[in-house]
């Protein structure tokens, strides 16, 4: 029987429904002006960074953001402003928002998502700069033909070589498993992913990298390894301020290193 997910895909054919048209109608209905988002934007699926910076008074809501589903916050550090969007969990939601952000002026998107540890590199929490992600989700197949992995832009990865050694945060590099169904992570599946050398399981990277490759966009994804899938007591501990301190250190380093190599973003 044919698999519907893999049928009727014309990868070179433009979409009839576009993020530009959605945002246009949202602005009309909400009576919002046309406005650009910051050129560096961050997806914070767990929302911990958004909550921490909002509670500290450092994140201010962008009332011109026309998305129907999310709130966008603007945050400034050391002369760098970035957009911060929380709680876009899962592949389809993350890519929907990514499409809207790039249609609104984003030039570099950084995603930091909570992830479960597959390989015992060290005790959580720590980060994995995701080089490639296993496509065990659905969204990526609407952007790229079937394959095992979707991968980050090698040029972006090469520019990040050695850049995390002095920021006080553990950052590993490697591959992850992107799933749409976190509560179907069976022992058999987990063992298979470990045998492939995958370091962590998360829910967005494969789709975001497929989108980036298909659209020619700059996207960098990190897995914030915070847990062992709830199989031990006192799991899901993220560190200081729910992990926001270390996440912010990673975000700022990436933005400072990559912004000069992305169209439109000054050094």
Determine, yes or no, domain membership for 55: yes
- What confidence score (pLDDT) does residue 238 get? 61
pLDDT score at 241 = 46
How many domains, in total, are found in the chain? Answer: 1
Within-domain flag for 75: yes
Per the CB < 8 A criterion, the answer to whether 180 and 203 are in contact is: yes
Q: What are the Cα distances from residue 198, in Å, to 173, 219, 263?
A: 11, 20, 32
* Residue 71 pLDDT > 80: yes
Whole-number percent of the chain with pLDDT over 70: 91
**167 inside domain:** yes
Q: CA 150 to CA 261: how far, in whole Å? A: 22
Q: What is the DSSP letter of 1?
A: -
Q: What is the pLDDT of residue 107?
A: 97
39: which DSSP letter?
Answer: S
Task: List the CATH number of the domain containing 189.
Answer: 3.40.50.1580
Is residue 178 within 8 Å of 134, Cβ to Cβ?
A: yes
Mean pLDDT across 164-171: 94
- Mean pLDDT value of segment 121-138: 95
String of DSSP letters for 148-200: SEEE--HHHHHHTTTTTTTSSS-EEEEEEEEES-GGG--HHHHHHHHHTT--E
The answer on pLDDT for 40 being more than 70 is yes
With respect to residue 12, please indicate whether it lies within any of the assigned structural domains: no
Which is it for the CA torsion 194, 195, 199, 205, positive or negative?
negative
Per residue in 72-118, pLDDT (tens digit) is 999 999 889 999 999 999 999 999 999 999 999 999 999 999 999 99
pLDDT score, position 261: 59
In a domain, 265, yes or no: no
* Listed residue (182, 171, 18, 218) closest to 89, CA to CA: 182
Q: What is the pLDDT of residue 267?
A: 43
Domain assignment of residue 224, given as a range: 19-260
Interval 206-217 mean pLDDT? 98
Q: What pLDDT, on a 0 to 100 scale, did the predictor assign at position 124?
A: 87
Residue 7 counted as domain residue: no
Whether the pLDDT of residue 139 is over 80: the answer is: yes
Nearest to 221 by CA among 19, 42, 47: 42
| Structure confidence by residue, pLDDT tens digits, 190-205 | 999 999 999 999 999 9
SS3 224: strand
What span, in angstroms and rounded, lies between the C-alpha atoms of 255 and 60?
19
For the residues 48-54, what does the mean pLDDT come to? Answer: 94
Confidence of residue 188 (pLDDT cuts 50, 70, 90): very high
* Mean pLDDT, residues 112-133: 94
| pLDDT tens digits for range 224-248 | 998 765 454 555 566 554 568 899 9
Is 155 inside a domain boundary?
A: yes
pLDDT of residue 159: 97
Residue 100 lies in a domain: yes
**How far apart, in whole angstroms, are the C-alpha atoms of residue 25 and residue 66?**
9
Q: Which of 219, 187, 190 is nearest to 206 (CA)?
A: 219
- Look at residue 79 in the predicted model and tell me its pLDDT: 87
CB 246 within 8 A of CB 223: no
Q: Mean pLDDT for the chain?
A: 92
| pTM greater than 0.75 (yes/no) | yes
- Phi-psi sector, 31: left (phi>0), alpha (psi -120 to 50), beta: left
8 Å CB contact between 166 and 88 = no
């Amino acid at each position: 029987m044919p698999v519907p997910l893999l049928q009727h895909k014309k990868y070179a054919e433009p979409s009839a429904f576009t993020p530009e048209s959605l945002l246009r109608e949202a602005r009309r209905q909400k009576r919002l002006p046309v406005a650009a988002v910051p050129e560096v934007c961050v997806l914070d699926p767990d929302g911990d960074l958004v909550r921490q910076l909002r509670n500290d008074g450092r994140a201010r809501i962008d009332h011109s953001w026309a998305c129907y589903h999310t709130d966008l916050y603007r945050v400034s550090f050391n002369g760098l402003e970035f957009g911060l969007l929380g709680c876009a969990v899962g592949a389809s939601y993350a890519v929907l928002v990514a499409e809207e952000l790039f249609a609104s002026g984003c030039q570099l998107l950084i995603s930091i998502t909570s992830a479960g540890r597959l390989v015992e590199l060290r005790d959580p929490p720590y980060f994995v700069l995701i080089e490639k992600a296993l496509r065990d989700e659905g969204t990526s197949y609407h952007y790229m033909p079937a394959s095992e992995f979707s991968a980050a832009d090698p040029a972006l990865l090469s520019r990040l070589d050695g850049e995390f050694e002095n920021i006080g945060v553990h950052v590993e590099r490697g591959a992850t498993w992107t799933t749409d169904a976190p509560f179907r992570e069976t022992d058999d599946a987990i063992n298979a992913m470990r045998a492939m050398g995958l370091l962590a399981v998360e829910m967005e990277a494969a789709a975001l990298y497929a989108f980036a490759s298909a659209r020619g966009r700059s996207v960098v994804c990190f897995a914030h390894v915070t847990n062992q899938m709830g199989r031990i007591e006192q799991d899901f501990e993220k560190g200081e301020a729910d992990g926001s301190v270390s996440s912010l250190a990673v975000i700022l380093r990436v933005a400072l290193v990559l912004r000069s190599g992305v169209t439109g973003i000054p050094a």
